[in-house]
Each structure stands twice: as C-alpha cells, then as structure tokens.
C-alpha cells in the first residue's frame, strides 16, 4: 500500500525498462517492512538535471543511476565519496543528511558490489594480476575494487585513453600474453550483447590462463559464451548477478542505515529473470 508517508526511491536511465533494480529493492523493502518504493523513471540526458532537482525538492530517499547518466550524476552532487570521485561516476544518489535534508551525495556501489560478489563466490587470489577486457566506466569501477597490492592490466581497443591502469592494445598477441599471467579475467565489454558474440569470444585465448584462474563478466541477464568456455576448461566463473544484488544492497544500506536482506533480493532477481529474461 503506497500512502503519503511512503518514501520514494527511483532508478534513472535511458532507457530504463530493462532494469531489475525495482524488483530487488522492492523485495528488500517488503522483507523488512520498510515503507518505501522504487520506481523506474526513463530520463532523457537533456532532462536529467531537471529530474534530479525535482527529486531533491521532493525529499526523495535515494536513487540508483544507470546508463547513460552516471557521469552526469557525479557533476550534480554536492559531495562525492572517495570511490565515486576516483571512478568519476555515480550510480547511487543519497538525498539529505543529518545537517541538510537536500544535500546530494554521490556514491559508487558498483565497485564494492563487484568485490562483494567475488568474495561471496569464494574467490581467493592465486596470483597478483587481474586483466580487464574493455576500458569503459564499468572497467574503471572494477579496477578500483581490485586496487591494493595487485597489478591491474587492461586490454582495450583504445588503450591510449586509459590513464588509470596499465593498458594494452586489443591484439591476439597481447591478449595471449596478458591472460597467460592473470589469476582473474573480467569481461567489461559489450561482447556478450552483440550478434557476433561467438566470433569475438573465440578470439579470446582462455586456454592460456593459469590453473586456478577465475573468469567473470558483468552481464547477468543471459548466458555468456565466454563463461561457458571458461567453465568447460575447468576455471571458476562468476556472472553479473552477484554484483547487481550487492550493489543494490549497498544502496539500500546507504539510504536506510540497516543491512539489506540479500536472500530476498536474490530470490526476486532470479524470479524476474525466469519470467522475463530479456534485459540488461
């Protein structure tokens, strides 16, 4: 029952109908009896600042931010957490604090969500080198999550644009060299969303990975050929469902200052994907 006392949270994107954040956050609210609701709001880039101003004036509890607004969201905040500042992107907005009910704080829960998912899956570094495929905003968040005592290498189409990690060109030779030294490979590209996924994945030399390596992708709504190949070769794998749930859980706790009910959120995501597998 939505009443005048119900607190509003939203997920903002363009498009946004694919987002599973409402399913997992509303399940979390229901599980703990929180009088709040999350709704998806489709926002054109040119309207983003106006929508944020409206949510701010309306004492919104918080908002999740997805493509293509994460960089724009950072520019609108009064304050950024260290992670959001370092990554240069915001995926979680907190409206108000103890001193100012309209203060806008930008968080990045993608990085902590990714790491939480890895730890939950039982990942233990067998080496000190992670290789990220792709160099977009998601890769930057993953690199931040994996910082500290580890070498982070990026293989990308335009390595000259990467200033936050050691980057190499996307060539067969370089892929083979980098993967042969990695204990963790994270696919941060859109390969799994393309019609030529099988062709592109075939060019990634999974067979050169050291024994005990892990292979991960941020895609969660459909099977990944890369993960299927890695699993068949005996490597541990992890898709993007854990990251999605954990980044949502971090947002929930940021807004409400209580631990999120992870099991209820997982069940809601699995049920949503089972009934409507199309989306990202």
Catalytic residues: 70
DSSP at 45: G
Residue 112 near residue 83 (C-beta atoms within 8 A): yes
Residue 137 near residue 271 (C-beta atoms within 8 A): no
Residue whose C-alpha is closest to residue 95's, from 126, 118, 73: 73
CB atoms within 10 A of CB 210: 14
CA distance 77 to 87: 14
C-alpha gyration radius of the chain? 19
Residue 19 near residue 279 (C-beta atoms within 8 A): yes
DSSP for 198-246?
HHHHHTS-GGGSPTT-EEEES--SS--HHHHHHHHTT-EEE-THHHHHH
């Amino acid at each position: 029952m939505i009443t005048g006392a119900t607190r509003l949270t939203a997920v903002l994107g363009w498009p946004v109908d694919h987002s599973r954040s409402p399913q997992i956050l509303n399940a979390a609210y229901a599980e703990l009896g929180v009088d709040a609701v999350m709704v998806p709001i489709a926002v054109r880039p040119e309207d983003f600042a106006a929508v944020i101003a409206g949510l701010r004036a309306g004492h919104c509890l918080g908002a999740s931010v997805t493509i293509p607004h994460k960089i724009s969201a950072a520019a609108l905040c009064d304050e950024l957490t260290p992670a959001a500042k370092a990554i240069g992107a915001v995926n979680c907005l907190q409206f108000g604090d103890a001193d100012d009910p309209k203060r806008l704080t930008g968080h990045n829960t993608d990085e902590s969500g990714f790491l939480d998912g890895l730890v939950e899956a039982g990942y233990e570094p067998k080496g000190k080198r992670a290789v990220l495929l792709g160099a977009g905003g998601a890769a930057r968040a993953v690199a931040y999550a994996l910082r500290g005592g580890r070498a982070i290498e990026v293989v990308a189409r335009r390595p000259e644009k990467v200033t936050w990690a050691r980057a190499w060109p996307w060539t067969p030779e370089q892929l083979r060299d980098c993967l042969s030294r990695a204990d963790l490979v994270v696919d941060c590209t859109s390969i799994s969303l393309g019609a030529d996924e099988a062709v592109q994945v075939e060019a990634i030399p999974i067979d050169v990975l050291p024994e005990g390596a892990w292979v991960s992708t941020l895609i969660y709504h459909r099977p990944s050929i890369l993960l299927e190949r890695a699993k068949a070769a005996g490597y541990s794998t992890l898709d993007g469902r854990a990251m999605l749930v954990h980044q949502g859980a971090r947002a929930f706790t940021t807004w409400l200052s209580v631990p999120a009910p992870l099991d209820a959120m997982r069940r809601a995501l699995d049920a949503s994907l089972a009934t409507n597998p199309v989306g990202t």
